[in-house]
Amino acid sequence: MDFIKQHRIKSGKKVDLSEMETRVKGPFADKSAAKAFTAETNDAIRELQYRLFVEGKQSLLVVLQAPDAAGKDGLIRNVLGQMNPQGCRTFPFKVPSKLELSHDFLWRIHACTPAKGMVSVFNRSHYEDVLVVRVEDIVPKQVWSERYELINHFESLLRSCGTRILKFYLHISLEEQLERFGKRLENPAKHWKLNLGDYEARGKWDSYRSAYEDAMEKCNQQDAPWFVIPADHKWYRDAAVASIVRQTLEDMDPQLPKIDVDLDEVRGLYEREQVKLNDETK
Ligand code: ATP
Ligand code: MG
């Protein structure tokens, strides 16, 4: 199945999240089939990421946005965090600090974009500045409404420097979210996640939906696409994102560098060292 084709938001089209499914099985017969697919895909991603790192010419930025409990952390644990940490870093973006707020909204974001050869995963991102900031009225409309264009310019800048951008919205239903909140309540090890603000945001579900729809519509350039991933089944979410990352890395086609040493010469040196070692250990 082509997960990119399936979940990519078409540019220039109105986005209506209420029309998009949250509970999807895709090509998978069951959970274990999806998990096997994800494990295999993760292996391929690791191999491609190794090439990306060694090549050192291109980079990948993965943006994760979602309502609370939609599974950003799980996705990072099961898929994105499976890459070699030497070439991949995750950046959570929380409420901005005083210092961050004294700069433009992209300042803290730009500092975390991937260098050549690297992958950056954004757990929340610059999109919060047209989502929570808009819904909670943190800055006037005149300020946030100009940000869509600024974001498009910013993402074009990154693209022009060889950064591929994938933006994922993890799409869960209100029912599934409440069930997950309930599980957090039952499990003392998850009590630290309990947050009154999460319940407040549920009350503003429609406003958040509209803000997401606008962001996906206005900031969906050809080379920085949005994907809506059905996320009620955690295993489908992981499999779909893994597949899209894999396909993208395959398309980037990172190459191991051409060698500029004489293989015969190196072989000669190697054999000489072997002989020396043998002589010494006799
Ligand atoms: P979890 O799903 O585990 O709760 P989380 O990503 O929600 O993880 P939290 O520490 O609960 O992490 O929340 C971070 C908070 O920071 C979110 O409510 C988010 O909306 C807020 N935030 C992020 N960026 C901004 C921003 N630019 N302006 C205002 N608030 C922001
Ligand atoms: Mg939270």
Looking at the CA of 93, which ligand is closest?
1
Report the distance separating Cα 271 and Cα 10, nearest Å.
58
182, 187, 193, 194 alpha-carbon torsion, rounded to 10°: 50
- Mutational pocket test of ligand 1: of 98, 106, 130, 132, the residue with most ligand atoms within 8 Å of the beta carbon: 132
Residue 28 sits at φ, ψ, to 5 deg, of -95, 130
- Number of folded domains that form the chain: 1
pLDDT value at position 196? 92
Ligand 1 pocket, 53 CB below 6 A?
no
Q: Is 74 exposed, middle or buried (0-12, 13-18, 19+ CB in 10 A)?
A: middle
The Cα-based distances of 214 to 5, 18, 19 in angstroms read 21, 14, 15
Task: Identify the CA nearest to 63 among candidates 166, 217, 170.
Answer: 166
The DSSP code for 94 is -
CATH number, domain with residue 146: 3.40.50.300
Tokens describing residue 153: 């310019």
Return the SS3 of 88: strand
pLDDT value at position 268? 96
Report the distance separating Cα 135 and Cα 279, nearest Å.
76
Task: Identify the CA nearest to 41 among candidates 250, 251, 269, 282.
Answer: 250
- Mutational pocket test of ligand 1: of 95, 180, 198, 208, the residue with most ligand atoms within 8 Å of the beta carbon: 95
Domain span at 248:
3-281
Task: Identify the CA nearest to 86 among candidates 111, 134, 53, 116.
Answer: 53
Ligand 1 center to residue 195 CA distance, Å? 11
Ligand 2 center to residue 198 CA distance, Å? 6
Residues in the chain with pLDDT < 50?
A: none
pTM of model > 0.75: yes
pLDDT value at position 220? 96
pLDDT digits (tens, 9 = 90+) for 142-160: 999 999 999 999 999 999 9
pLDDT value at position 131? 98
Report the distance separating Cα 239 and Cα 228, nearest Å.
13
